[in-house]
Amino acid sequence: VAVNPGTYTLFVTHDFSDPNPGNDLLTTDVELLAPPEFGTVVVNPDPDALNAPWTIDSPLGTFNFSGDLTRADVPTGNYTITWGDVAGWVTPAPETLALTVNDTITFNGVYTEIPTTGTIVINPDPDALGAPWSLEGPGAAMYAGSGDSTMVDMPTGDYTVTWGEVAGWNTPAGETLTLTGGGTTTFDGLYTEIGTTGTVVVDAVPNALNAPWTLTGPMGTLNGTGDRTRTDMPIGDYTIAWGEVAGWIAPAGETLTLAADATITFQGVYTQIPTTGTIVINPDPDFLNAPWTVTGPDTTSGTGDQTLVDMPQGDYTIAWGAVAGYDAPAGETLTLVAEQTITFAGTYTESLGSITVDSNPDGIGATWTLTGPASFSYSGAGDETVVDLAAGDYTVTWDAVAGYTTPVPQTKSLAAGGSQTFTGTYVRIPVGSVVIDAEPNDISAPWELSGPGGLQTGNGDATLDDQPAGSYTVTWLDVEGYETPAPETKNVTDGGVAIFLGQYTPVGSGDSIGFWFDQGASVSCTEAAFLAHVPAYIVYSNPSISETRGFECGVQFSGGASWNTAMSVTFPVPSTNVGVNIPAEGTYNYIVGFGTPLPTTVNTVVATLDIFYLDFFAFDIDLGGSNPSSSPNGVPVVLRPDFTEMEIQAGSPTATLAQTGGCGAKTASADSYEGVRNLFK
């Protein structure tokens, strides 16, 4: 009896002669599942001899092939084909078809050949001239003729036409055009008749001057003023001479050639003769805003920096005014020429003072540096008085003396003609010793020590005496192939010893790689229904390297005799995977090289997997070494940035792909997908 998929109640009636009435009737619910839905896909590129390549995107994923193909028993759904390119042929457009149950869809891709010749048309004008021409084509092939011409079956490529001369006519310029397959390229050459006259334009600027000029040429000599346009002038060379205008500079003459039917323009720009210039006043220092008076053809008084424009030319004298506490510069006389600039620069000088530097205690050889205005700098030692100093702010910076604290810098203001004293007291510093012990000794590990005395660096073991008492921090620097110890801080007391021990350990001991159902490496069991796509990840955890160039590992399904389930992989960067998979045995190998370095984090996804669940039982997924493996111990491997190999441990428990509701109560069955499908048949 044929029935539809669904849930049914089964009633079982017992033998009524049984003395136990509780056995008379039994009921149970039975769920009848729908059979899987399949169809057939046919791919037919034409012509067959091309064996054209193509790609199909299907419910099962993306597949690449070439030539004709018929594939039966494939899942229903949408299929999209993309035809590959074939040299010399036009590629068919992509196509999407829907496959229904027990149906057949056919992709027909017809390639058409690209033509390799075309047509060239030669069209000189006017036609009556029968103008000559020559044509150069691909491979330096030459063609010649006259008048209009049409050439067929010409090879594709670049063609260059050269037009011949025709008496009394202007020859058009040659040109280069490209002939494409199946196309037509036309060369048009327009000849124009040669004339004997042209137009001459005279343009005197400014127009209001009505400037005079003389024009000589084939017609003789022509005099005029202002702007003028003369037509029907004989062709040839023309020369113009511009006349004088009072108060203006006349432009230079020039010669131009008039061609047939052309226009030449003589433009003469007159410039007015200047009579004024610019005076710059620049007293220094600027903050004084010093007063001054300039006398000459024009007299002006002011203060500070100024620029005086449009001043009449002639001799000018400056007198600098008085400023309290400063000596005024001497006056001077300069001559201003039209359109030129003269500068009066006056520097005021102030009364000088002195500074005394007193370092304590005497006799310790303390050195110091005194800095002040205008980039002043002076270095000395011990007690000293520095004289002839300009007013302003001065700073003493005390240099370090071994075994003593350094006084803080001091800043004081020195008045014009005044004095100041800087006192710096050094205090003896208690000292102790620092011992650096880097293990193992043979790697001579580098380190940095920061403390009251500043930053010190070194390699391997060291004993540092006479270190100022206080807090010290050792920072251990990286050694390739080893885990770097954490920084450490200790106090050094007067006469005491602080010992820093840095224990380096080989890298990789904490690294791991595992198979997970999340990118955070925390989910090892997931549930899925039949035909589901389940995302999974291979995660490199707790890396001891900042980036990796690849990895090796193997993945094995367990819990069944064979598998219909398929697993595909993508990588986070362009990669090459040479691992060999046996899907029916649940065996997958990943031997992967990254095309670009992959930066690492606490949990780094090195591969993203898509599990197409095609079985009706739960199974385990174990990650270990690849087959073959470059590890002598058969364990997973990652590649360091220098492409050397590093063995690491498998870092996850066995992952489990369970049926819906199966995580936490896992069951396994040897029944394959084929067995279940036969049951429905």
pLDDT at residue 335, rounded to an integer = 96
- Helix (H) / strand (E) containing 680: helix 673-680
pLDDT at residue 508, rounded to an integer = 54
Token pair recorded at residue 85: 């390119």
pLDDT at residue 451, rounded to an integer = 94
pLDDT at residue 668, rounded to an integer = 36
What residues does 376 pair with on adjacent strands? 372
Q: Are 631 and 552 in contact (CB under 8 A)?
A: yes
When pLDDT is cut at 50, 70 and 90, the band that residue 23 belongs to is low
Q: Do 437 and 581 sit in the same domain of this protein?
A: no
Does residue 680 fall inside a structural domain? no
pLDDT at residue 571, rounded to an integer = 98
Q: Do 518 and 667 sit in the same domain of this protein?
A: yes
Q: Do 67 and 215 sit in the same domain of this protein?
A: no
613-635 average pLDDT score: 93
When pLDDT is cut at 50, 70 and 90, the band that residue 632 belongs to is confident
Q: Do 665 and 533 sit in the same domain of this protein?
A: yes
Q: Do 537 and 605 sit in the same domain of this protein?
A: yes
pLDDT at residue 28, rounded to an integer = 67
pLDDT greater than 50 at residue 677: no
pLDDT at residue 500, rounded to an integer = 93
pLDDT greater than 50 at residue 680: no
pLDDT greater than 70 at residue 15: no
126-134 average pLDDT score: 94
Does residue 604 fall inside a structural domain? yes
Q: Do 450 and 395 sit in the same domain of this protein?
A: no
Q: Do 22 and 105 sit in the same domain of this protein?
A: yes
Q: What is the pLDDT of residues 44-68, one digit of tens each?
A: 999 999 999 999 999 999 999 999 9
Q: Are 331 and 318 in contact (CB under 8 A)?
A: yes
Q: Do 534 and 648 sit in the same domain of this protein?
A: yes
Does residue 678 fall inside a structural domain? no
pLDDT greater than 70 at residue 42: yes
pLDDT at residue 4, rounded to an integer = 65
Q: Do 251 and 366 sit in the same domain of this protein?
A: no
Q: What percent of the chain has pLDDT over 90?
A: 75
When pLDDT is cut at 50, 70 and 90, the band that residue 563 belongs to is very high
pLDDT greater than 50 at residue 586: yes
pLDDT greater than 90 at residue 418: no
Does residue 681 fall inside a structural domain? no
pLDDT greater than 80 at residue 18: no
Mean pLDDT score across all residues of the chain: 90
When pLDDT is cut at 50, 70 and 90, the band that residue 671 belongs to is very low
What residues does 189 pair with on adjacent strands? 124
Does residue 60 fall inside a structural domain? yes
SS (H, E, C) 505-540: EECCCCCEEEEECCCCCCCCEEEECCCCEEEEEEEE
pLDDT greater than 60 at residue 21: no
* Domain extent for 288: 276-350
Q: What is the pLDDT of residues 182-207, one digit of tens each?
A: 899 999 999 987 878 999 999 999 99
pLDDT greater than 50 at residue 329: yes
Q: Which stretch of 219-233, 240-254, 364-378, 664-678 has the lowest confidence by average pLDDT?
A: 664-678
Measured in residues, the chain has a length of: 681
DSSP string, 332-384: EEEEE-TT-EEEEEEE-EEPPEEEEEEEESTTS--EEEEEETTTEEEEEESSE
pLDDT at residue 31, rounded to an integer = 66
pLDDT greater than 50 at residue 465: yes
122-134 average pLDDT score: 94
Q: Are 369 and 397 in contact (CB under 8 A)?
A: yes
649-658 average pLDDT score: 81
CATH of the domain at 310: 2.60.40.1120
Boundary-marking domain end, from 111, 129, 145: 111
Q: Do 421 and 435 sit in the same domain of this protein?
A: no
pLDDT at residue 665, rounded to an integer = 47
Does residue 459 fall inside a structural domain? yes
Q: How many structural domains comprise the chain?
A: 7
Task: Report the phi/psi class of residue 542: left, alpha or beta, with left for phi > 0 and alpha for psi in -120 to 50.
Answer: left
Among 499, 451, 504, 453, smallest CA distance to 476 is for 504
Q: Do 561 and 630 sit in the same domain of this protein?
A: yes
pLDDT at residue 22, rounded to an integer = 60
Give me the amino acid identity at 440.
P
Does residue 377 fall inside a structural domain? yes
pLDDT at residue 49, rounded to an integer = 93
Boundary-marking domain end, from 168, 193, 218: 193
Q: Which stretch of 17-26, 125-134, 198-207 has the lowest confidence by average pLDDT?
A: 17-26
Q: Do 294 and 416 sit in the same domain of this protein?
A: no
285-307 average pLDDT score: 95
Per-range mean pLDDT, top range of 1-10, 27-36, 501-510, 554-563: 554-563
Does residue 288 fall inside a structural domain? yes
230-254 average pLDDT score: 94
Neighbour-count burial of 486, counting CB atoms closer than 10 A to its CB (0-12 exposed, 13-18 middle, 19+ buried):
exposed
Contacts of 349 (CB under 8 A, 6+ apart): 326, 327
pTM of the model: 0.30
Per-range mean pLDDT, top range of 380-394, 570-584, 655-669: 570-584
pLDDT greater than 90 at residue 142: yes
The C-alpha atoms of residue 514 and residue 520 are separated, in whole angstroms, by 11
When pLDDT is cut at 50, 70 and 90, the band that residue 652 belongs to is low
Give me the amino acid identity at 609.
L
When pLDDT is cut at 50, 70 and 90, the band that residue 654 belongs to is confident
Q: Are 166 and 172 in contact (CB under 8 A)?
A: no
CATH of the domain at 379: 2.60.40.10
Boundary-marking domain end, from 43, 77, 111: 111
pLDDT greater than 70 at residue 673: no
